[in-house]
Chains A and B, each alone.
Chain A
Amino acid sequence: MATVYNRKTTGLFENGAGQKGDNSNFTWMSRRTTAGDYLSNGGSFFVGDNVYGSGAIGSQYIPVDTSKVYQLAYSIKTITQSYNSRNGSGHIGYATYDENKNFIELRNCKGAGDTTLTRAASPGDTTIYVANASGFSVSTTSHQRGFMLFGGDYPYSEGYTRYWVPNDAYPTNGLTDLGGGEWSITLNSGLPTWSAALDANGDYPIGTYISNGRAGGTYNYAMGAPVYPQTWTTYSAICTGTTRGSGAAFRHGTKFIKFMNLRNYNYRSEQAGDSARYVIDNLFFGEIPSVNHALPTSFLQSNRFK
């Protein structure tokens, strides 16, 4: 069975298994070469400083075709426990970016309160009319009352947009069922001008896609927030398709991803002494033939990463 995926190195992470003999692309970690503390290429990435819940994002933008199936896998081992006898821990997964390398958050993705304009709207309007606003949040927290509009060439209309009012777009009493399949939404500020989404009349036309912007999980916590054992453990997820979410599936509009780890986040409040130390190795992100063809742990923990 071939073990080379996509190119000459194993998977799409550059230096994901320390092939370069250094910590490039993962500079917040050092290199650990103690026998048994690495899986391949003579060294692993070592979280060897005191860190109490800080984030770490890889520097490499890895291109993604969301119509394909990928496997994401990180192998991790706690080296020393914290002063409080805690193993290393924290969220692992990835961060998503669009084709211009803008970070994608949930308030850029359709999937909450999706509806369409029933009347043309113009920049500056403070009331818009939609087919159904029953799915819009009336939460008192402003980050649940965002607003998105889809259209134009870019941002495009495949469930992702940069045409957004992220917070407090409408008041909690701003949604009214007018009957007959129409609702009004009263906006707190005039509708912005997003030129590429306007028609020849300078309007957002009937049928323009509208969604409720609601903040939620910042990153894709694809492999959860485990506590890392003191033996090598491989965490793996299958990533394919797009959605509005913070799990393994890609977000709408994803064209690139980056490595993500929230270091020692599970015990972030325990800061009276040294934090846990752990190593990461054999970072893998690569296309696989189908969801039924995930690479086995025996390979992911092997010294066959090139």
Chain B
Amino acid sequence: MEYIEVDGEYFVIDDGLLDPNGEPTWILITREEYEENT
């Protein structure tokens, strides 16, 4: 589980939740959640 800011948006990269290509899912989160976890 990685928290990341890209181009003003905040995401958690969830490697326990794979997308249809089998890659970790990037999930949009709030800035508050990002700041709580970084």
Contact = CB atoms under 8 A, between A and B. Distances in A.
B28 A246 contact: yes
Contacts of B9: 216-217
Contacts of A144: 6
Contacts of B7: 214, 216
Given A95-B20, A103-B19, A214 B28 contact: no
A221 interface: yes
**Which of the four size classes fits the interface of chain B?**
10 to 19
B21 A105 contact: yes
A55 interface: yes
What is the predominant secondary structure among interface residues of chain B facing chain A?
strand
Q: Is the interface of A mostly helix, strand, loop or mixed?
A: loop
A225 interface: yes
A246 B26 CA distance: 10
A9 to B, nearest CB: 26
Contacts of B26: 215-218
A103 B25 CA distance: 13
A70 interface: no
A141 B4 contact: yes
B22 to A, nearest CB: 10
Q: Which 7 A-B pairs have the closest CB atoms?
A: A103-B20, A218-B26, A218-B25, A218-B19, A217-B28, A221-B28, A55-B17
Interface of B: 4, 6-7, 9, 11, 14, 17, 19-21, 25-29
